[in-house]
Amino acid sequence: MEAAALVDLLLEKDRPRYRQLLTDHKEDPTAALEYLQDYLPDEFPCPDELYLMGEEDGSSDLEPGIVYAIFAESDLYLLRPTRKLERLQEVTQLEPTRSLWTTWG
């Protein structure tokens, strides 16, 4: 997603500074990323990286010259047990341990 769209998730008082950081530091948006890490409300996932799309990157979906927010895929999904697992937990009273193997398995 475009990094500029994240401005709507910030508090009203924090929005102008984020916009300014995005425009002033477009070539190296780490300052804007650090600002997001500090001021983005906890209920929203913070991007792992802000990336300026260049001409040489060559993507049909993304426009060059735009800063995009890149999220960790695991931050975008809620891990909820399936109905079958919930019933199994009720019967056995066991709690599963989450790991990459259980997530991708």
Distance CA 104, CA 99 (A): 9
Residue 103 falls inside a structural domain: no
Residue 12 falls inside a structural domain: yes
Q: Give yes or no for a contact between 46 and 40, defined as CB atoms under 8 angstroms apart.
A: yes
Residue 95 falls inside a structural domain: no
> pTM for the whole thing?
0.67
Domain count of the chain? 1
Tens-level pLDDT at each residue, the chain (105 residues)? 899 999 999 999 999 999 999 999 888 999 999 999 999 988 888 999 999 888 888 677 888 889 999 998 877 776 677 788 788 888 888 776 766 565 554
52 in helix, strand or coil?
A: strand
Residue 84 falls inside a structural domain: no
